[in-house]
């Protein structure tokens, strides 16, 4: 297949693109290579993708409407996996406009590109038995986030829960994406699936994430900041598990659910419109998490063990926009695609630390002119 991956130079986008290339697909990857974090890391990821004959990279900002329209005019896609976004909860407190521009305006451009390409003259198609049924292989998969759960206190977080109380602009923008996708699925029959990721970590990860900052600081003998006095839990999910989930979901094209009574008995009934995770439109939502929350202090211990060094800690209060715990209910994912993330935090952190030391050791050598 020919697949568009947005955010291909990003952490998840890089790993997914590599996997799809290995599976023999033709991938067009786009990214704006912004400087939210170290751009050289993004270029290094792209360098790992360049040897694949089926990979083509284009520097495009998804918020650039004209560039996105041209992309969809010039290339026909069987699948679109939308991972590009302005990430980070705390940064959204300082620069909220970046989140609306990328996560809302940019996603609108992706939706419109799919509509213009997959729906002749804007007509509706559905997966089963409608006009334009030749488009039944098309599928838009997009990244959402566990941040949409906001003030929800019901554990584990379920895609059937109400998520109308976000506590950050980042979370609100991701919830907006889910709603916009549903509208396009309903109006135009475009199959769309949203994936709520839970704290993804692993090699080639994002330097703004806590595990990356902890590793760097501990390695250097610097103090780490531990928020909420360390009384936090996260459903840390290893990158390979995330990629496996995306690949399986991408090949699971949603069909409309039955109308009346769908979801009845599970507390999620939305009369006439299916459950909150599905719809009478070809639309689904899934959590992808390790479904096994880890205490922050145990997470830090795993990093210390992998590094062979003890952390110096400063305990601080909870930060605005943050939550004390995340925990993914993945029953729907397991039922529909037969997959459950299962990488232990010890194995995942060990692999990350091995990559970190290898990568930054090489970077240091290059800076000192020791490597060629």
Give the three-class secondary structure for 238. strand
What pLDDT, in 10s, does the model give residues 320-360?
A: 878 888 999 999 999 999 999 999 999 999 999 999 999 99
Nearest to 27 by CA among 14, 38, 36: 14
Q: Report in angstroms the alpha-carbon separations of 13 from 91, 234, 260, 274, 359.
A: 20, 22, 38, 31, 19
| pTM for the predicted model, two decimal places | 0.89
Rounded Cα distance between 237 and 211, Å, is: 12
Bridge partner residues of 259 (DSSP): none
The answer to whether residue 170 is catalytic is yes
The reported pLDDT for the residue numbered 331 is 96
Strand positions, DSSP E, 16-84: 26-31, 55-59, 79-82
Residue 122 has pLDDT above 70, yes or no: no
Helices then strands (H, E): number in the chain?
12, 13
The reported pLDDT for the residue numbered 276 is 56
Q: Of 205, 149, 163, which Cα lies nearest the Cα of 324?
A: 149
In angstroms, what CA-CA distances link 171 with 9, 216, 277, 279? Answer: 22, 27, 17, 22
Residue with tokens 């928020």: 227
Catalytic residue among 91, 99, 170, 283: 170
Highest mean pLDDT among 12-16, 154-158, 266-270, 314-318: 12-16
Q: What is the pLDDT of residue 172?
A: 94
Region 28-53: mean pLDDT is 97
Q: What are the DSSP calls for 175-205, one per residue? A: HHHHHHHHHHHHHH---EEEEEE--EE-TT-
Question: Beta partners for 59?
Answer: 31
pLDDT digits (tens, 9 = 90+) for 20-38: 999 999 999 999 999 999 9
- Backbone conformation region of residue 203, classed left if phi is above 0, alpha if psi is from -120 to 50, else beta: beta
Round to whole Å and give the CA distance between 33 and 181. Answer: 25
d(CA 196, CA 285): 7
- Residue 222 has what pLDDT? 97
Q: Are 302 and 349 in contact (CB under 8 A)?
A: yes
Give 156's contacts (C-beta < 8 A, 6+ positions apart): 291, 327, 328, 329
User: Is the distance from CB of 124 to CB of 188 less than 8 angstroms?
Assistant: yes
All structural domains of the chain: 2-200+238-290+328-343 (3.40.50.720)
Buried b or exposed e, range 326-336, using 16+ CB within 10 angstroms: bbbbbbbbeeb
Report residue 350 as tokens.
Answer: 């060990």
pLDDT of 323: 85
The 3-class SS string of 89-117 reads CCHHHHCHHHHHHHHHHHHHHHHHHHHHH
- Per-residue model confidence as pLDDT tens digits over 147-183: 999 999 899 999 999 999 999 999 999 999 999 999 9
d(CA 287, CA 144): 9
pLDDT number for residue 287:
97
Q: What is the mean pLDDT of the chain?
A: 88
**360 φ, ψ to 5°?**
-75, -20
User: What is the H or E stretch that residue 133 is in?
Assistant: none
By DSSP bridging, strand 294-295 and strand 233-234 are antiparallel
User: What does the H/E/C string look like for 198-219?
Assistant: CCEECCCCCCCCHHHHHHHHHH
d(C-alpha 348, C-alpha 237), whole Å:
9
């Amino acid at each position: 297949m020919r697949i568009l991956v947005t955010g291909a130079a990003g952490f998840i986008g890089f790993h997914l693109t590599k996997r799809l290339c290995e599976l023999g697909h033709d991938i067009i990857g786009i990214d704006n290579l912004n400087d939210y974090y170290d751009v050289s890391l993004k270029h290094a990821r792209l360098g790992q993708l360049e040897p694949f004959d089926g990979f083509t990279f284009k520097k495009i900002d998804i918020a650039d409407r004209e560039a996105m329209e041209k992309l969809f005019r010039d290339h026909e896609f069987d699948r679109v996996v939308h991972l590009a976004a302005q990430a980070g909860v705390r940064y959204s407190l300082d620069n909220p406009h970046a989140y609306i521009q990328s996560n809302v305006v940019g996603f609108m451009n992706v939706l419109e590109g799919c509509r213009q390409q997959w729906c002749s003259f804007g007509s509706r198609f559905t997966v089963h038995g409608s006009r334009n049924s030749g488009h039944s292989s098309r599928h838009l998969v997009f990244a959402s986030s566990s941040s949409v759960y906001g003030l929800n206190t019901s554990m584990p977080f379920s895609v059937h829960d109400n998520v109308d109380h976000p506590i950050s602009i980042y979370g609100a923008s991701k919830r907006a994406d889910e709603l916009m996708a549903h509208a396009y699925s309903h109006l135009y029959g475009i199959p769309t699936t949203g994936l709520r990721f839970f704290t993804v970590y692993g090699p080639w990860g994002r330097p703004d994430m806590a595990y990356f900052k902890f590793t760097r600081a501990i390695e250097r003998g610097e103090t780490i900041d531990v928020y909420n006095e360390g009384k936090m839990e996260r459903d840390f999910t290893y990158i390979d598990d995330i990629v496996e989930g995306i690949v399986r979901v991408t090949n699971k094209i949603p069909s409309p659910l039955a109308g009346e009574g769908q979801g009845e008995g599970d507390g999620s009934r939305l009369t006439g419109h299916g459950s909150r995770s599905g719809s009478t439109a070809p639309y689904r939502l899934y959590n992808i998490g390790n479904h096994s929350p880890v205490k922050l202090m145990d997470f830090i211990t795993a990093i210390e063990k992998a590094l062979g060094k003890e952390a110096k800690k400063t305990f601080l209060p909870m930060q605005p926009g943050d939550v004390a715990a995340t925990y993914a209910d993945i029953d729907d994912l397991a039922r529909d695609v037969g997959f459950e993330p299962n990488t232990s935090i010890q194995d995942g952190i060990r692999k990350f630390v091995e990559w970190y030391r290898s990568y930054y050791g090489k970077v240091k050598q290059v800076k000192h002119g020791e490597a060629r």
